[in-house]
Amino acid sequence: MRRTRPLLFVLLAVLVAVVGVVVLREPQGVAGTPVAGSSVAPATTTSATSPPVTTTAATTSVPATTTTAPTPAGAPLAGKIKPGEPRQGVATFYDSDGGGACSYDPGPDPLTAAMNESDYEGSAACGAYVLVQAGGKSITVRITNLCPAPCRPGQLDLSAAAFAMLAPPVKGEIPITWTLVSPETSKTIAIRYKTGSSQYWCGIQVLDHRNPVARLEVQAGGQWRQLKRAEYNYFLSENGAGCGGSIAVTDVHGERLVVNALPVRPDAVQATTLQFARAGE
């Protein structure tokens, strides 16, 4: 028995030492419970690549339109034909019915012109109104066609009626100055889907716009997607994205108009109540 007591004392001492170590290593806070005096902000996520989306009021009327919306900054709008910059060139004339490379329907307006290939810029000039001056006279014509070579940069091939208002037709060619203008008009913008358009492929044309169209976007998947412009003046969605969705049209002055979703009706001219403002107003 005398030998047992020292052994018990030794075991008791070791047990006390172990408990002391466990107590000293106890954490200051319990998992899942914040330590007093600390705070954690909730995590947030943002998208740096998603562009702002212009919201529009839902409606079942056709066509449905909205008010203007700001255009995304960054990309240049005007091409070679810039607002407020006079151009020098020559004018010739041809028998024009208002149709041509811009894919507009022939019309009764005799004051039209074909733009030289350099300034046509893949149909960017289509629908532009330009003030043409020569010999103290002036007229305003609408660009509806392309004048290929040998037409030179700066040259306009006017309708026969337009040329006759500036000079006798026997002259054949005259020096001119021309400038992009933003005329008065009672018309409103219209939208036309190209022949063969469907939910899988579509071409979109803007008609009767006061100022040249610089950009067309369609809304697809909650985002705006810019379409490429063909030389025949239709904006193409070759994979069907946005066909039948809302359409945003921006002019060279930066004004952006949003048209609510229209049905995909090939060759049908669908009117809106929208029009670009006159430049400077």
Distance CA 1, CA 8 (A): 11
Taking only the tens place, the pLDDT of each residue in 25-57 is: 333 332 332 323 333 333 332 233 323 333 332
Among 226, 209, 192, smallest CA distance to 125 is for 209
Taking only the tens place, the pLDDT of each residue in 213-232 is: 999 999 999 999 999 999 99
Kind of pairing, strands 156-159 and 87-94? parallel
Pull the structure tokens for residue 237.
Answer: 């969605």
**Going along 96-211, which residue ranges are E strands?**
112-116, 129-134, 137-147, 156-159, 174-181, 190-193, 202-207
- pLDDT above 90 (res 277): yes
Measured at the CA of 234, the angle between CA 233 and CA 237, to 5 degrees, comes to 150
pLDDT at 203: 98
CB-based burial of residue 162 (10 Å sphere; 0-12 exposed, 13-18 middle, 19+ buried)? buried
The residue type found at 22 is: V
Q: Which residues of 67-89 are buried (b: 16+ CB within 10 A; e: fewer)?
A: eebebbeeeebbeebebeeebeb
Global pTM? 0.75
* Per-residue confidence band for 78, with pLDDT thresholds at 50, 70 and 90: confident
Distance CA 94, CA 158 (A): 6
- pLDDT above 70 (res 76): no
